[in-house]
Amino acid sequence: MESFTCLKLSSSRGLAAIVALFFYLSLTTPCSAASPEPHPPTNTTQFIRTSCGVTMYPKLCFKTLSAYASTIQTSHMELANAALCVSLKGAQSSSNKVLKLSKGQGLSRREAAAITDCIENMQDSVDELQQSLVAMKDLQGPDFQMKMSDIVTWVSAALTDEDNAWMDSKGMP
């Protein structure tokens, strides 16, 4: 199997939203897929386009995930894995940027408190996405439904934490 290189994004908002869809399709494997391929096969890109068509941001989903078509092929598991990995990298990038912002000088108490809350929420989001990836490694066995439920819960919590971080930032002038 080829190895997956996750993209760096400034925000996980659009991509994290697509992850929940793929958990209902069936998933497994750790964060590993291929390097982007410039001209992937048509049936593969159609599979990705169709899957992304039911997401909140279909164009963003397709643009991002089609770069990994050679690994995704027509596998729901690889598609979910790629979406989750990309979402995790985006959440990590966002968290790091907010952390750097927190070290800025001249913040009011209100701004500092909002940034602190945002950092906490973003770090929780990253942790929950990481837990989801770990759970995806072992979906076999009689407790499949329980594991899937856990993954969906963690992804949902990650989205909630990210939304809360965004709302915290709205409280700043």
CA angle in degrees (0–180, nearest 5) for 93-99-105: 140
Question: At the top level of CATH, which class does the domain 13-170 belong to?
Answer: mainly alpha
Mean pLDDT for the stretch of residues 55-74: 91
Of 37-41, 45-49, 72-76, 78-82, the poorest mean pLDDT is in 37-41
Tell which residue, 47, 44, 57, 48, has the closest CA to residue 18.
57
Q: How far from the centroid of its chain's Cα atoms is residue 78's Cα?
A: 14
CA–CA separation, 10 and 26 (whole Å)? 28
Domain ranges of the chain: 13-170
**pLDDT tens, position by position, 122-166:** 899 999 999 998 888 888 888 888 888 888 899 888 888 877 877
Q: What is the pTM of this model?
A: 0.72
